[in-house]
Structure 1
Amino acid sequence: MATPYLRVRSGEVHLPSTVVVKPGIIGELGEYIRSLGYENPLYIVNAYTKEHFMPEGASFFDAVEATLDYANAALSSVGGHDAVVGLGGGKNIDIAKYVGWKAEIPVISVPTIPSHDGIASPMVSLSGGGRPYSHYSRPPRHVLVDPDVLAGSPKQYVLSGYGDVLGKYTSIYDWWLAHVDRGEHFDGYSAALARLSFRHVVRFRKEIADRTYDGIKALIEALITNGVVMSMQHSSRPASGSEHLISHAIDSILGRKGLHGLQVGLATIVAAYLQGRDWGRIRKYLEDVGAPTTAEELGIPEDVMVKAVATARSLRDRYTILHKLGVDEAVARRALKETGVI
């Protein structure tokens, strides 16, 4: 079967108009945002980013939790502002994207940790109504990255971003599988870009682990590339497959949100095993940077990990290897044991 090549999901693709990777840019953030033409932005922050990175005197909303309630509260505060700035991690940036989408004003993404591929993506992930809320909005109009700030973030956040990108090894396969088995739309060009991001972080994994300038730059390039791919497809499909479903299932069972990319990296080992592919390769790539390769390292009980793999396919109607195999607890336990995850 021939691979469909370069088919975007519609005739309209929104991408960031500005991506700046510049050491020290956060120190001049207010001035730089004014140079983009915005006089009165609303900053979405938490206590740490407000104290350390937000320009003095700026208007802000304190994003305590990544929930629809907080996102809608931020939306009610945006009147009179000409842009919204997500300053911080995934929570702040997702709320900013939600507010910008609903209020129809530009979004400026300013990550302070490289822990996720939502930095430049159009996807919004919030919780509400007892289940995760994920929606396609629009990507940030501007992405401003200070590699010095990201290199100074705790190593677990750097490894989380790395794990999120490693997940493309299995998400692309799941996307192709859905095309073959179910006739789902598949785009070879977008898949190639996502695969390139995987190869990029693997090539620079030592530098990423050491948090050098080249390593952080490579990680950011990969995370932004995945945001572009999701924009092209109007969906997280190229970047999110069985490995992401397993991570979401862990959160659902435990009733808390763990560090997403670390869980995705761990789940990629299991997903690759179920796909009949080289799961040992993924395990080694995680070990090489000091990322967790067992459930115990992440504080996930064995029975929770088994249940997560067995029930992940029920979380959403997105066909993956979990659906094809009809994975149950016996299959899940065997996969987890044989890969050493439990």
Structure 2
Amino acid sequence: MEHLKNAWYVAALSTEIEDQGMLSRTILGQSVLLYRKLDGNPVAIRDRCPHRFVPLSMGKRDGDDVVCPYHALRFAPSGQCVHNPHGDGLIPKAAKVQSYPLVERDGFIWLWAGDEALIDPSLIPDYSLLSGGHANSKGYAYMHMQANYEIVVDNIMDLSHVDHVHGPLLNTAGHLSAQQPKVVEEGRSITVRWDWQQDPPMGFFSPFLPQPGAAARHHVTVCWTAPGTMLLTVGAVQNGGRDDDGLLSWDHHLMTPETETSTHYFFGTRRNWLVEDAELNRMKLEGTVHAFTAEDKPIIEAVQREMGTTDLWSLKPVLLTSDPAAVRSRRLLAKLIAAENR
């Protein structure tokens, strides 16, 4: 796969890796085994024994090590084989698997996909909003998309589709399509923002505003950071207030390529209203995930099937006034990849 190598990709939600469990996940076209050591720190190694290429995830844990189910070679968290039960017990020099540097932060397990000598933790986006606030104001989810990750990113970077795709919970009553939002590029990020007045407000906010059902000013800011993570700040405010005076939801969308035509979609969210209400938190998360899986997902996956390629530009797509943020994200990512390959 062609991808940005010297970058961080989300490999899993923190909650997906249990204390004594193992999780196998294909990331950037390679099978990766994720688990936690006895001290709780996460580990990622290639999920393929170098002897006969059996997935190590089919084996068992032995303390911090993993034992291959086929011939019982045992591998340490470093990826090095540390036990060979055959013959004289000598361990071949090639008996090792790749290990991947990890950082656990803000509810996500981040994996460095490139040169270990170039590891830069500062390239992990600041999503510390998810580390604060009441536990009942936050939620996480995992979804799977049968589509290239850049197509999934396009969907968020061009939110005019919300006018036409989504139901009452997220519907924006046609107010986004007519806009030509401002796009700002800075470093490895692209930011785009929409503002509009809506009466009645989005169903997502309407019941919780000071004047439920009455007109409100809405705003959405999307900040994409290469290669595939986005923070959406979504809000509603009445009576001429500032953004911070109103209701706010911070929605984190993180895309990690599985293969050329499939994507791991991680989601984290936090809100600033009724923050201790666990039932509201459950309903909000379930409603949002349902909107993605029932409304966005079928269209995105149909796009990938119809394209039959991951090369968008080879198909000469028609561009609209709503496209600049998505186009600039693609071009910036292509520029970073090209610079890395020089």
State if a TM-score over 0.5 links the two structures.
no
From the two aligned structures, give the one with the greater helix fraction. Answer: 1
Q: Taking structure 2 as the reference length, what is the TM-score of the superposition?
A: 0.24
From the two aligned structures, give the one with the greater strand fraction. Answer: 2
Q: Taking structure 1 as the reference length, what is the TM-score of the superposition?
A: 0.24
Greater Rg by CA: 2
